[in-house]
Amino acid sequence: MKSSRWPLPAALAMLAFLALPLAAQADDFPTSGRVEYVLECMQKHDGKQEYLYKCSCVVDRIAKALAYDDYVAMSVALRYQSLGGERGGLFRDAASNKDMAGKFRQIEANANKACAVPQR
C-alpha cells in the first residue's frame, strides 16, 4: 500500500520555500542602510574598532524588530525631534511622530543594552 504523504525531504523543502518570504520580509534592511547605521554608531563612540561588531549587533536586532520602511520613518521622527524653528514643529508637535520616536528610542535602547553599546 502506497502512503499519500510526501517524502520528508520534499515536505521540508516546501516548508522552507513557504517560509522564505516571511523571513525576507521580517529582515529587509538593505546593506547600505545597515552600513550607514553602523558608521554613525561607531562615530558616536569615537570610531573605536570594537564598536564595528557591537553596532552591527544593534542594527541586526533593530532589523529583526522593524521593517525597513518603519525604521526609516521612526528614526527620522526621532532625529528631527530637536530640529529648531518652524520646520522642526512638524516633527516635535505631531503626536504620531512623538509616538514613533518613542517606540524607536525603546527598540534601539533594548538593542544597545543587548549588544553592550552605551547610550549616547
Residue 102 has pLDDT above 60, yes or no: yes
Residue 1 lies in a domain: no
Residue 72 lies in a domain: yes
Residue 7 lies in a domain: no
Residue 2 lies in a domain: no
Residue 84 lies in a domain: yes
C-alpha cell of residue 86: 518652524
Which residue type is seen at 58?
Answer: V
Q: How far apart are the C-alpha atoms of 42 and 50, rounded to whole Å?
A: 9
Q: How far apart are the C-alpha atoms of 94 and 98, rounded to whole Å?
A: 6
Reported pTM: 0.73
Q: How far apart are the C-alpha atoms of 35 and 41, rounded to whole Å?
A: 10
Which residue type is seen at 16?
Answer: A
- Domain span at residue 56 reads 30-114
- Mean pLDDT across 51-65: 97
Residue 96 lies in a domain: yes
Q: pLDDT of 15-27, one tens digit each?
A: 455 554 444 445 6
Residue 28 has pLDDT above 60, yes or no: yes
Q: In total, how many domains does the chain have?
A: 1
Tell me which of 112 and 97 has the higher pLDDT: 112
